[in-house]
Amino acid sequence: MTQFSIITSIYKNDKPEFVRVALDSMLINQTVKPTEIVLVRDGQVTEELDRLLDEYEARYPKIFNIIRLKQNGGLGKALKLGVESAKYDIVARMDSDDICLPNRFELQLRYLEQHPDVDIIGGQMTEFIDTPDNIIGKRIVPCDNEDIYGFMKNRCALNHVTVMFRKESVLKVGNYQDWFWNEDYYLWVRMMKTKCQFANVPEVLVNVRSGADQYARRGGRKYYESEKGIKKLQLDNKMITKMEYRYFVAQRYIIQILLPNWLRGWVFRKLARKK
């Protein structure tokens, strides 16, 4: 199958035991293994994390391309550098504490080979707490390009940690850029502006590590302004109507500003996840 790169990043708060599980799910437990892993160390990390990186770099010298940044610049900048540094035309995205299912890359590569017009392919994801078998929810997204464009009017239609894309398509729209907690959504909207073709496979590709604090991170004015800015970009480019924009802003103001964390978590689990 086609050679491909994976881009991922770590920073000081990542737990070495989680990073090890994530790396093994990409490297060892796959039916089709990556040709390259571009790992951006986003600033100084713990000695234990550095030792882990040294270990994998020594074990897989032909696969690992570790970029060690002296200062933390944020996820958007790290991923931008990762894409630019990737050697291959096909690039997969992965987080440093999640778990790829064994046939993830095989499914996505086969789809891209069979659909040369598709620029980016994602898939479904599950979420777990503590142990991988303790599944607490599933985020289902549409598979067809037209349905994805429609879904994007209200919510992000690609599970970021599941995507695989053509490097040229991402570079053409300016690559990843810094946008608080929504670097992915911002990139997808810019790809939509150029009529890129999107797709998702119906299978679950990644099991995502979750926790109670994730809903706290999705609240607050800064997160609200981030999503509001993306919707304004969609409005300005006639991807959504003024009514859709106003509805979204009002909805997100209630969820992200007014609701306490515990209630926000309930809303996300009920409306955006399936058991």
The answer on 221 and 207 residing in a single domain is no
Q: In sequence order, what are the beta bridge partners of 99?
A: 207
CATH number of the domain encompassing residue 187: 3.90.550.10
The answer on 136 and 47 residing in a single domain is yes
Report the domain count for the chain.
Answer: 2
pLDDT for 80-138, tens place per residue?
A: 999 999 999 999 999 999 999 999 999 999 999 999 999 999 999 999 999 999 998 89
pTM of the model: 0.93
Q: Are strands 164-166 and 120-128 parallel, antiparallel or unpaired?
A: antiparallel
pLDDT for 187-229, tens place per residue?
A: 999 999 999 999 999 999 999 998 766 655 667 888 899 999 9
The answer on 243 and 159 residing in a single domain is no
Determine the average pLDDT of the residues in 217-246.
91
Q: What is the pLDDT of residue 210?
A: 87
Q: Mean pLDDT, the chain, as a whole number? A: 93
What is the residue range of 191's domain? Answer: 4-211
Judge contact between 120 and 37, C-beta under 8 A.
no
Per DSSP (E only), the strands in 140-187 are: 164-166
The whole-angstrom separation of Cα 88 and Cα 37 is 10
The answer on 238 and 172 residing in a single domain is no
Nearest Cα neighbor of 252 from 162, 179, 167, 154 is 154
Q: What is the pLDDT of residue 106?
A: 97
The answer on 239 and 110 residing in a single domain is no
